[in-house]
Amino acid sequence: MKNLFTLALLISLFGSAQQNKNVLFLGNSYTYGNNLPGLVSNIAESLGDSLYHDQNTPGGYTLNGHSTNNNSIGKIQLGGWDYVVLQDQSQLPSFSPSQVATLSLPYAMALSDTIYKYNTCGSPLFFMTWGRENGDASKCANYPPVCTYEGMQGRLRSSYLLMGSQNNAPVSPVGAVWREFRDSYPNTNLYASDGSHPNINGSYLAACTFYASIYHSSPIGAWKPTAMDSSLAYSIQAQANTTVFDSLNVWGIDTALPLNNTVWSLTGQTQTSCTYSFKALDSLNLDSVTWDFGNGLFATGFSVSSDYTVSGNFTVASKHYLNCKFHTKADVHTGCYVWSVIENASDKFDIYPNPSSNRVAIQTNLSGLISFSIFSFEGKEILTGQLENKEIDISKLTQGLYILLLEVNDRTYQHKLIKL
């Protein structure tokens, strides 16, 4: 019935509500080529999300360079970043493990420490790049594993995963998606003419991978560059989706949400208001809980309450926080009835006999099609129908106090009813 007071906890799971992310990109020409941050932003916007982004991406820059660059450090220290993307010079992470331990790992750690210090809920996000189209000919003689694309890609993968592991940070596996796509679609080129930098296909692949890594949502169905064939765009989106979500634990991407289990109860009722209490059951595993009661009132706490002074539909949203993540859950409950909002029926209809154990007669001067509803005093609808012959059979009701509502011509009237 339209006058019932309903409580609903509104859900917000991955992909079901807008996500707003702030991301700083620190890298070089692999990042600024084809405006990778802008591509990620276009994808996010097309899927109902938003991305605020900034970047410092000088050509050929290394993690070492960013770790002492005033512009890079200053942007990190502004704070408020959900992620700071860290991309090393394209060759360095493919070098031997001993060289990577000297040339890359210390600076990945230094930058990560700064990110964590100035961004309470932020994290580094390492940009796993791709091997050169035919391997690194300039370094092949000194280190044979990079002589081929496959060998170079294997070293890049290992080094970036190590950076992520050492710094408790996720990795956006662009290079892994790149390799899978190359294997599946050998006739589709991802490289610019130098065999190193990405063409627009490669940058779009990177952007789809970043969207999945940042938003934990599928890029399938997202915006594509105007000149890109739709089937190619779909193939890229699908590969990014598969590679990212099939191996979340490998990339260190944590999609787990805090526990969200709540109970609610009616703890007070008068003719003019109802008081509901709400409780989070997993408080020992949570940092905090915020509540929006849907009546203009808000609260923070594991056990809270709120008064409702009108009947109607109310959306009550609870956010359960743990380690900067939140989980909003939906449950629909039937609540109590605020009787004072219904017109008093003393001059509109009467009930005889009242109290009664069997049938009651309705004495009224109301005209038109009249429907009736009988509610328990806690607000539960017990019986409903059309008023025929101005009588209602209440023989099946249990003994107690009820509210009888008559509806006619868009008006509602109430009267107490006692069942013997």
pLDDT tens digits along 195-253: 999 999 999 999 999 999 999 999 999 999 999 999 999 999 999 999 999 999 999 99
Residue 132 is classified by DSSP as -
- Distance (Å, whole) CA 88 – CA 81: 19
Q: Do both 55 and 121 map to the same domain?
A: yes
| Pairwise pLDDT comparison (87 vs 121), residue with the higher score | 87
331-357: pLDDT as tens digits: 555 455 555 444 455 567 888 899 999
71 and 135 part of one domain: yes
353-411 confidence digits (pLDDT tens): 999 999 999 888 888 888 888 888 666 778 989 988 889 999 999 988 888 888 888 77
- State the SS3 of 257-326: CCCCCEEEEEEEECCCCEEEEEEECCHHHCCEEEEECCCCCEEECCEEEEEECCCCEEECEEEEEECCEE
199 with 317, same domain? no
Domain count, the chain: 3
Q: pTM value?
A: 0.70
Torsion of the alpha carbons at 167, 173, 175 and 177, rounded to the nearest 10:
170
Same domain for 160 and 31: yes
- Sequence letter at residue 163: M
**Residue written as token pair 């909003």:** 328
Are 145 and 77 in the same domain? Answer: yes
Q: CATH number, domain at 209? A: 3.40.50.1110
- 156: domain range? 20-251
Cβ atoms of residues 2 and 337 within 8 Å: no
The last residue of one of the domains, among 229, 251, 273, is 251
Judge if 321 and 380 occupy the same domain.
Answer: no
- Bridge partners of residue 320, in order along the sequence: 289, 327
236 and 353 belong to one structural domain? no
φ/ψ of residue 395, rounded to 5? -65, -25
Q: How far, in Å, CA of 111 to CA of 76, rounded? A: 9
* Cα–Cα distance list, 142 to 4, 129, 371, 414 (Å): 77, 21, 90, 91
Provide the 3-class DSSP secondary structure of residue 152: helix
What is the number of other CB atoms lying within 10 angstroms of the CB of residue 195? 13
